[in-house]
Copies of this chain bind each other. A is one copy, B any other.
Amino acid sequence: VTTYPVDIVKVPYKPDATVDDVICFKYYNEDEVIMGKPMKDWLRFSVCYWHTFRGTGADPFGFPTLKRSWDDGSDSIENAERRMRVAFDFMSKLGVKYWTFHDRDIAPEGATLDETNSNLDRLVELASELQDKTGIKLLWNTCNLFAHPRYSNGAATNADAHVVAYAAAQVKKGLEVGKKLGAENFVFWGGREGYHTLLNTNVREELDSLANFFKMAVAYKKKIGFTGPFLIEPKPKEPTKHQYDYDAMTVIAFLKTYNLDKDFKLNIEPNHTTLAGHGHEHDVVMASSYGMLGSVDSNTGSPDLGWDTDQFPMDVKNATFIMKTILDQGGLAPGGLNFDCKVRRESSDVADMLISHIGAMDCFAKALRVAAKIKQDGVLDKMKQERYASFGSGLGAKLKSGNATFEDCHEYIRQKGEPERRSGHQEKFETVLNRYLL
């Protein structure tokens, strides 16, 4: 088997689909132009290799549940190749334009670094060929610096320099692979960079190590001419009790402390955002506000669960907030919307993996349509701007320019007295938003 077993060439767009016809898009019409760009350019969807092609359904309480006809479960190169052919067929049928992977997703680790890299080269060769054949491009690649037992106490922040060196050697290769495959970005997710207990941890020493590691990466990127942005993906906890890249602002603090903020942007995953105790769209908005939003791992979690469930995004209100932010910053390229999502381990049919991607793409396509309508109407944006109107003139303008003083303010209040009370109108904003959503 080298094809994904579904009897279609490509998932069709059927705006009039019946409720239970789920192998079609009702909202996603890739070439339809929305606000000056085709939908596919606003919605740079990518399929992630790890969940969709390496996920087994195993969890801490149970064995694998997802058996795929094309995967014999072995670590052979042949199996890896067959799997990759199916993956590109799946993505072609689904109609996404991008994919993402960790180094170890696509090729088995060998007995030595050389052997590992040689395995990787073989699969990269095939990937390159399949990319050319299908037109599917690499949104980003990354290195798995957390699964191997050598990384159990962290990679770049390990207390053992030997492990740090191993991670560096691995990222070196990862950058080379990214360059070869034309990766549009390169991602760092902090795997096990964090602590379980402060009793055995020197936080500052570990953060210094992490900064040194990133500086080596920046130097090597320039050396080999890899031009895509570096992205850091914040996560607050899991697997460690405290991940150093807790959330967007924590990463920005780190980058600024070590003068790395020009070299990195952020890859925001909403399920990580909610784990950090924020609202679903918070980190996307914060990163965008700081000019640091590079890409989005579009997934969702269950707000009542305290771990990363990596569910397919199916809530159009949440997706609308994301898309509105992306519209406001003029798009996400060279970043994209990567589905860092996995089918539930109970969703064991091979069709479930297709349906789940379709459902998520349609959710985002609808959200794009809603967000564009909101933006074009301008009603909500105008309501928001009116709240800040006082900064347009007088003392407000002086405050905004940074030229006012406490003495100016004191004098102003002595003359003007109390400000008028103004409503924040939250429920009105929500009601108007619902007019677009319902």
Contacts and interface: CB of A to CB of B under 8 A. Distances in A.
Interface stretch (A2-10, A80-88, A283-291): A283-291
A205 B161 CA distance: 43
A137 B402 CA distance: 35
Contacts of A93: none
A314 B165 contact: no
Given A348-B422, A423-B352, A430-B312, A63 B305 contact: no
Contacts of A402: 212, 215
A304 B427 contact: no
A346 B153 contact: yes
Contacts of A358: 431
A200 B424 contact: yes
A198 interface: yes
A317 interface: yes
Given A383-B200, A424-B347, A404 B212 contact: yes
A187 interface: no
Nearest to A344: B426
Contacts of A416: 162, 165
A20 to B, nearest CB: 5
A89 interface: no
Given A62-B152, A172-B406, A414-B113, A196 B426 contact: yes
Interface string A272-294: 00111111011001100110000
Contacts of A366: 438
18 contacts: A61-B192, A64-B149, A112-B414, A113-B414, A150-B419, A153-B422, A163-B419, A165-B409, A199-B426, A199-B429, A212-B399, A212-B400, A212-B402, A220-B406, A237-B277, A307-B307, A359-B427, A362-B438
